[in-house]
Structure 1
Amino acid sequence: MNNQTDIDIVVRYLEDPENEQFKQQLNEWMQQDAGNLDIFLDMKAMWHGDPLPAPSTFDTDGKWQELNTMLDKVPVAMPAPLVNTRVVKMNRRYWWAAAAVLLIAGTWTWMGPGGYKTYATDMQQDSLRLPDGSMLYLNAHTQVRYARGFGKANRLVKIDKGEAFFDVKKNDALPFIVNAPEVEVQVLGTAFNVKAANSGVKVFVQSGKVSAAYKGTEKKVILTPGVEASLKHNGNAIDTRIHKKNNNILAWKTRTLTFDDTPLNEVVDALEDFYNVQITISNQQLADKKLLATFPNMSLDEVLDIMRKTLQINVTHKNDLVDIY
């Protein structure tokens, strides 16, 4: 938060959380920057009486002076006359909330955004057990965060990018929520996969039921086992697809690719996603050829060699480019 407008948005919502207009304004503001959600959650916690950071860590008097200086420096347009001007005196709690913004900003350099725990992977995969007992499996190039107090006041996980599989411990009193770019996924107890890509977000359910929705809208879908939803960035339509049991959505986790009379064009899609390469079928007459094979944790060259012999096709592989002809 860098100005009074941001403070107004959060405080108006905290004072009247049932107001639909305030909810919408808050939602739009939080989507402007990934760190805004962290700031809001910290302000909300302090608004409801959670303790502020230890005095030894923060210069409270200094922060108040910073706030007063900031408000004194708000520019005033001189040429235009003031019309219907009104002055609103902020109550003590409103001023305290504004000061809390500066306190939160002071934590940024040593705690990360709002004290959130952040986990990120590079080329490797990883897994971790969340405080509520749920398991989280991270694909390569994935970043997730969850708030302090996870499992007590909320069970909220934010996936900034990449792909993660969630095996959620059931808790009827505390829904498990995953925030992805523009999309919110909510469950009670289930196992599901979330992939946040450049084009949008995909949600696949292995067991249980999941609600996937565009943030700030009523557009949502209930997913059951075997169903995948695709939610595009800046979109409002939700596409769903039913997958047969032997699919490769979770191949990144199982490290096994399975093809059951799968057309070559679908095989290519799975290989591109699994090995992070670009594959072209130069001869489109080959696109309908079907592959029956299982590849347990094999290298791409091993897979391509088996495909070449099985389907009687030609394959070249150089760097991250593969050509089938």
Structure 2
Amino acid sequence: MDQQQVRDLLAKYRFGRCTEAEKALIAQWYADTARQQPGLPADLDLETAREKSWTNILAVVRQPHTLETQPAVPPEVASGSRMEARIRPARAFYAAAAAAAVFCAGHFWLSENFAPSGRNATQRMLMASTLPGEVKTYRLPDSSLVTLNGGTSISYPAAFDDNAREITLTDGEAYFDVKHDMAHPFIVDAGRTRTQVLGTVFAVRAYRSLNDVRVTVASGKVGVRNGEGYPEAQTAFLLPDEQLVVDNRSGRAQKEHVNARSLAGWIHGALDFNNEDLKTIALLLEKKFNVAVRVDDNTLAAQRLTARFRAEETLDDILGTLAMAGNFHYRRATDQVLISMNEH
């Protein structure tokens, strides 16, 4: 399987939609990956290791644990209120455990169980994720806080090394409140961008299905560099209430002045669309309400809208307002919303 197929299968597993045949494909992928690992014992029984790994995954998912996260709303956003997210043994935990197990269990049995002894703990990677409709805050190894929007996943080492504090935003949107440390830069890799700070508050939006990566600064100073492979390497420095939009295809970067706190309203359930195209708005509504939202016309999908909605407003409230502003029609089906041009 190629990397995109692997990601698609892991996403299906995360939501409990894998067939037995697809589970077998994932397990086979583990075995194929194992054969490429350096330093494995010559007499390693890959089939036994594969079966053991899959058994461990299922055991992790089925355990009746309680998962506690940090407060879901950072203090500077919540205006003094304190909220704590406690996820009890329910679908949210099992889905998160499944995601962690699928991404990490293979790493455990490939690296921890069979790698040479003396392996540095900083090489062990952890994963944090949210389902659509969830917002959760995690404390990183350096005590920095990261708040994840719905449908987001990040990976980071169990302990940062002596040079830098580096994490990867695999998919989604994250809000970082970084502990200041002059000696250890804090780095976020997202798509083909690399954001570096010493200690600040900023957000990165990098949903894989969108056309750009957005870095928004609430306080401090941030440096952003586009990745390798673009025609021209660029580095931009952002100050509070500045946002950098990096096109995923061309690497072209554009700086804009924004209201950073307003754009981070999703942390406490609000939505702020700042000249967003309807395709992006549809995705953000999916991540908030856990309902598929489809736009059936490319021209309509490119239409841009600006609007702000309170946390208590429903999906129908929001769609009704947007439909009037954008002159489109929407209808609710069993498990999705369909947006189309108004009929004349």
Give the TM-score normalised by structure 2.
0.52
Q: Indicate conservation of the 8 Å contact 2:180/2:198, yes or no.
A: yes
Stretches of structure 2 that go unaligned for 5 or more consecutive residues are 1-5, 8-37, 44-107, 287-292
Structure 2 vs 1, CA of residues 191 and 246 (structure 1 numbering), >3 Å: closer, same or farther? closer
Which amino acid letter does the alignment assign opposite residue 131 of structure 2? Answer: D
* Aligned partner of residue 228 in structure 1, secondary structure: strand
Deviation track 1:101-145 (CA, whole Å, cap 9, x = no partner) reads: xx9954378999942111122222221111212110111222211
Structure 2 vs 1, CA of residues 171 and 271 (structure 1 numbering), >3 Å: closer, same or farther? same
Alignment of 1:213-228 (within 5 A): 213-216=225-228, 218-228=233-243
Over alpha carbons, which structure has the higher Rg? Answer: 1
Q: Find 1:207's aligned residue among 219, 234, 237.
A: 219
Partner of 1:322: 339
Partner of 1:138: 148
Which amino acid letter does the alignment assign opposite residue 107 of structure 1? Answer: E
Which amino acid letter does the alignment assign opposite residue 264 of structure 2? Answer: L
Q: Indicate conservation of the 8 Å contact 1:107/1:113, yes or no.
A: no
Alignment of 1:279-294 (within 5 A): 279=295, 294=309
CA distance in 2: counterparts of 1:202 and 1:288, whole angstroms: 16
* Aligned partner of residue 303 in structure 1, secondary structure: helix
Structure 2 vs 1, CA of residues 154 and 148 (structure 1 numbering), >3 Å: closer, same or farther? farther
Give the TM-score normalised by structure 1.
0.55
CA distance in 1: counterparts of 2:184 and 2:214, whole angstroms: 24
* Superposition deviation, residue 240 in structure 1: 2.0
Q: In the alignment, is residue 255 of structure 1 matched against residue 255 of structure 2?
A: no
How many residue pairs match? The answer is 222
Partner of 1:173: 183
Which amino acid letter does the alignment assign opposite residue 243 of structure 2? Answer: E
* Aligned partner of residue 187 in structure 2, secondary structure: strand
The CA RMSD measured in Å over matched residues stands at 4.3
Structure 2 vs 1, CA of residues 279 and 300 (structure 1 numbering), >3 Å: closer, same or farther? farther
CA distance in 2: counterparts of 1:299 and 1:135, whole angstroms: 29
Deviates more, 1:167-176 or 1:189-198: 189-198
Q: Find 2:310's aligned residue among 295, 313, 325.
A: 295
Which amino acid letter does the alignment assign opposite residue 130 of structure 1? Answer: L
CA distance in 1: counterparts of 2:299 and 2:172, whole angstroms: 32
* Aligned partner of residue 275 in structure 1, secondary structure: helix
Stretches of structure 1 that go unaligned for 5 or more consecutive residues are 1-32, 35-61, 68-102
Which amino acid letter does the alignment assign opposite residue 257 of structure 1? Answer: L
| Aligned-residue identity in percent | 23
Q: Which has the higher contact order (CA 8 A, sep 6+)?
A: 2
